Structure 1
Amino acid sequence: MIYQLANCIGIMLAYAAAYLLAPTESWRWILGVAAIPAVGVFWVLCTRMDTPRWYVMKGRHQHAEEALRKLDPSADTARALAELRATLDTQTTGPRRRGESLRVLVRRPYLRALVFLVGLGAIMKLTGINALVYYKPLILQSMGFSGYTSLLLIPAGIQVVTAIATTFSALKVDRIGRRPLMLTGLAVMAVAHGLIALTYFTGVRTTSMQVLAILGFVLFQAGFGLGLGALIWVYASESLPGPLRAAGASITLTVDFGINLFIAQLFLTILDAVGGEFVFLGFVVITLASWVFMWKLAPETKGRSLDRIKDYWENDGKWPETTAVKDATTKQPETI
């Protein structure tokens, strides 16, 4: 969820930088300014250590002890290291060799989980988020908006809604649950796409229609921040037991970026070919189908131990009655 908030802030800053540089009409500077935060992130990554868990998995115990000491100088690092090694040693039932995780996922009972994670990565982009982030100025222009303020500052302001919705989701996810937030977010996104499609179908470029379009964009960003934006990586990390978790998250990420490449290359071509009304009507259909997909397959991991997620898939996508629900007073950190 912190990742999504950082994403929102980055998009807002990108639009703001484009607005400030727009009078120069220099697209090279607009694109090149992104190198500044990229250099900063590169420097930060070069100065960070890997996690103690990763060092232990690689047999680099001295580095693991140093990492533990940096995380908590007052802790008993020798004891923490021993506990970490013991935890990893107990994970003897999971896949160990390269490619073994995939072979486990393509067979029952985890085939259902694989379908869910692949669908999750596809839904993230097919419901329209990157199409709107990349091409919102052009979409606004086709709706009669003009000027740098309308085409660049309005999209930046709309991103604030995503940040607010994501923050709300982060604060309430352990109380409301993953499924209700995800399903509500997708429903709001479907309504938003319908409003935007309506503005295209009317063919009217009046102020009232433009306000309706802005409302559609605002609702879409709110729904995305509430559901998909805040929860996709929570679900990717909580939907498989520990030995398979990295492979599952990698599959979701690969599908996500693969669909993103398709959207970036073909969205404008499709928009010009069929028109905005049918593009956004298509988004309505895709988003509603995504709602059904999540309703059918998404597990509710609220209050459940992540170590017991295998029970859900082994019981054909249902939580066994014998699986104990975690005490509500016990706080479990999320893996993001």
Structure 2
Amino acid sequence: MGARPGLRCFGVDLLFPEQKALRGSLMQARNSQRFAAIATRAVSIGLIALVVFVITFPFIWALVTSFKDRIDSLQMTFIPFIQFEPTLFNWRNELVVTWPETRRALYNSAVISVSAAAIATALGTLAGYALARFRFAVGNSNILAWVLSQRFMPPVATLIPLFILFQSVGLIDSLFGMVLINATLVLPFSILIMRDYFAEFPKEVEEAAFVDGASFWSYFVRIALPLSTPAIAASAIICFAFAWNEFIFASVLTNREAQPYTLSIISSAGTRGINFGFVSTRMLLAVALPVILSLFVQRYIIRGLSMGAVKG
């Protein structure tokens, strides 16, 4: 049975007790939902702010430290002009005084990273298409597991054999040798991304192309490659970032001519200890190029990963 209708007297609603109780319950439920929505939003904003703070704090601290002298960099100071006097000594030393060494190291890093990313992306695209469209006797999953095992294996396990091999063929301290090493290290990422991306292509498109007389290579070049631009961009940027940040093999296989910029960061240590101002300045320069590059292609990275590596 429904609630009894209320009465209206002199423009005022007269409610029965059960109607008042129902209205109170509805208002209480509405207030509870509103409070829950506000609390959920506040918690979400708080968590997002915490994550952003945790991610950006090291870079903010490095930026502040890069404007400190050697003594101030050892102090727990953060506010310039109040807690310490900012200086451009570290930036002037890196961009003016030692600029020839800095330029050579940045050039080496750029050549190694771009070349390794290009080789890995090209080979990974071909291998990914083959693993997505063909079936091999040894098993596609076995091939993929073998490729990924290169990343599961600790790099130190192959460091000494590669050093002996490079020394025997004369590739120690050469850009070509570092390109080969980095291309090998980042190739599994490219294969995984491109394989998952090509596996999601509708087979109807491929079958229609074959009906029209297209070969596998023609379909790959004219249809698959243009449609896989987001995945190729994501693969290239990820391979570039990993090659740019590589340190272990560079510290052993290079001496001076082919040293990347990552080794310049550890050279900030001297007989008087670590100069944290130099470390901060060089760290900011090292992360600047990958960050700027990723900002221009972030939509390709998100789309490529969401349609490739995230789904599997």
TM-score range, shorter chain: 0.3 to 0.5
Which structure has the greater CA radius of gyration? 2
TM superposition score normalised by structure 1: 0.31
* TM-score w.r.t. length of structure 2: 0.33
